[in-house]
Homo-oligomer: A and B are copies of this chain.
Amino acid sequence: MTLALYELGGLNDRRYSLFSWRTRMALAHKGLTPEFKPVRVSDKAAIAFSKQDKVPILIDGEEVIHDSFRIAQHLDTCHCGPSLFGGEVGQSLSRFFNTWADRTLVPRLAPMISIDVLQIVDEADGKHLRGVIETAFGKTLEELSANRDKDVIAFRRLLDPARANLRAQPFISGAQPAYADYILFSLFQWARIVSPFELLEASDALAAWRERMLDRHGGFARAYPARV
């Protein structure tokens, strides 16, 4: 049976798709090893078979599934191994967490570090990404990142509800990580791969949590080199 993940690939085989890292960790959680298929961000022809234009895309036998949350639901329903959601309430609140991360955190994170993506992709991909992000935010990448030393302070504050969970337990989802942990981790792993800019203070409980996440599944995420 085919199991394959289409995701963004950059120079030197860097895998820098934020949303793909949610799926990568979910697959590792389930003990599944797909074939990883890198796609250049400007190459929409490569994923035209999925009838939409975004990665990640999971091919599981005859099924073609896009959207990282739908992929996680598919994995939890159709594959055994530890649950990603821990039941209906857990899945519902993971969906809430997913929307919270995407609407509250990503719009603050992307402006700070997108400029650094240009160094890990080729010229055509860089031009494509610059166009998409500058159009979305109405500013140049240089303007967006100019005050990141200050902007990161507000970003850290937005993480408070996640940080509060770590007072009671080692992972956001409990004694073990589950999909909500992978959602939040995907932001940090994306940042780690694309940018030397540090998002967390060393004393932050989330910094220790991030180390635990890098260690999970045999150090699966740590094996990908950080940008220095």
Contact = CB atoms under 8 A, between A and B. Distances in A.
Interface residues of A, number: 32
A144 to B, nearest CB: 21
A93 B171 CA distance: 11
Interface string A4-40: 0000000000000000000000000000000000000
B180 A95 contact: no
A20 to B, nearest CB: 21
Oligomer: number of copies: 2
B169 A92 contact: yes
Contact of A97 (B85, B93, B171): B93
Nearest to A86: B89
A161 B175 CA distance: 25
5 contacts: A87-B90, A88-B174, A89-B173, A89-B180, A93-B173
